[in-house]
Structure formats: C-alpha cells, structure tokens
Structure 1
Amino acid sequence: MKGMARILALDYGTKRTGIAVTDELKLIASGLTTVETSELLSFLTDYLSKEKVELIVVGEPKRLHNEASEVESKIEKFLVKLKNVLPEIPVSRIDERFTSKMAFQSLLDTKQKKKVRKNKGLIDEISATIILQDYLASHS
C-alpha cells in the first residue's frame, strides 16, 4: 500500500471555489473550505506543501444539453496554471451538472437557518464535497 494520500475536489467558480478533501484512507469526503478563486492557486500550493494529495478532482459544469458552460474556459485556463505549478498532481474531471442544486437541497434538508442558506461559500464547499463523494462512489 503506498503512502497515505488524500484526494482533493474543487467546485470552481469565477469568484469563489469550494474545496473538499478525503481522509487519508480515501473513504470519507468532507468540506475543507471556500477560497476566493483569485487565491486558489496559492491556497493549493500551501495546502499541498503540508498534506499529501494524490489527485485533484475538478467539477465539470455542463449545461443540460451537454455543451460546456462559460465557466469551463476559465477552469481550463486555471488547470493549465495548476499543471505548471504542481505538475506531479494528476487532475480528474467529473460532471457536476446537478451538484449545486443538490448542495442547496441538502442544506434545506438539514433545515439550516436562512442565514446559513444565504452563505454561498458554504454551498460551494458542500458542492465540492458532493463532487468528491460522486468521484469516490464511481471509483470504489
């Protein structure tokens, strides 16, 4: 068994990016944080200097008819930068068409107060967690 390493997931947004991470056994996905997208690269560089990450999963936002959404071109530019900065970390994409809706629904289901529901950052973090759970489920 090779060294314990986490899988990290990003719900990339133009303003903010939600981040989730697995435990070292890669069994459980949990929300880590939400960062300003402008700070994302430095956040990841810093995080990866402290934690072993073997894979970064990035949500792929598609519209209903399967064409890429406008944020996708920004994601692609970001992934080029990421590869330059962290070339040793592979990136995997996963369709996240419904994750934000699911994230919002799971907030509603847990009957969070309205204030929390308005906290978009938390929604991004939950979306990233759902992306990661989907990834783990489809690769287990």
Structure 2
Amino acid sequence: MPANQPHTIRLRGPWKLTPLEAPNAQPLPGQIGQSWDRFIEGYAGPVLYVRHFNRPTGLSTEDRVELAITDCVGTAHVSLNETPLANFAAEQTPFRIDITAHLQLSNQLAIEIIPPALPCPAGITGDVQLEIHSGEGSAH
C-alpha cells in the first residue's frame, strides 16, 4: 500500500435510522443503503442516521482522521458529538471532513439527510467511513 493511502474503517452498522416526518417516528435499527420501503411504506421525507463508534486506537498526535461519505441522495447535515460540522449536497460527494479535533473516546455521529424535492426518498447510498491519514513523522 502506498505511504499516502489512508487506513479505512467502514462504519457499516449498527445504525439507528429515524424518519423525521413520520407520525410517531421511532429510531429503527438498519444499515446504510437500505430502502425506506422496508421500514415505512411510501416514506419520502428527511431521515436521521445515528451511529456510535470509539476513537480509533494508536493515533499519534500527527495523525489526521477524516469522515468520508461517498454518496447520498439529498442534502446532508453532519454532526459529531452534538457539534454541527458540515452541510453538503449529493453533488459534492464524495465528501470528506477532518474530525480529528472533535474525536472523544466514545463518539456519536449524526447525519440528517433532507430530500432534494418531495416526494423523493433521501438517504445515504454509499459508504460512511473513517480515513486515518498518518502524519509525516509517524511510523505507521
């Protein structure tokens, strides 16, 4: 693997998915890329994806951790540990943001996806992953 290639951790699951405009909406266990029809027939509104993860181990002070979202349908609002980090549209994917300074031992990632128009389903259709970029002086 070339020295400039990041180490990748895919955040496949478990995710809690909440259809934000469904009556009496409750978080449902799910995976990235699942069709909303599996959960709520005909739902086509905003969706909240929430996943917990631990801080990657073995990080040096020179390492950088980026959150990457490779594809989505709609506009995404990304928060980590209840701190808003970024907003981006599907046309901007793949999207990456440095989250190193926001990492805690235990983390909560929240991604709200707003559909591009109604009625239209919204969701994450690609991978969500952590990309660890080794610092120049580290021995990774």
Decide which structure has the larger Cα Rg and report it: 2
Which has the larger share of strand? 2
TM-score normalized by the length of structure 1: 0.31
Which has the larger share of helix? 1
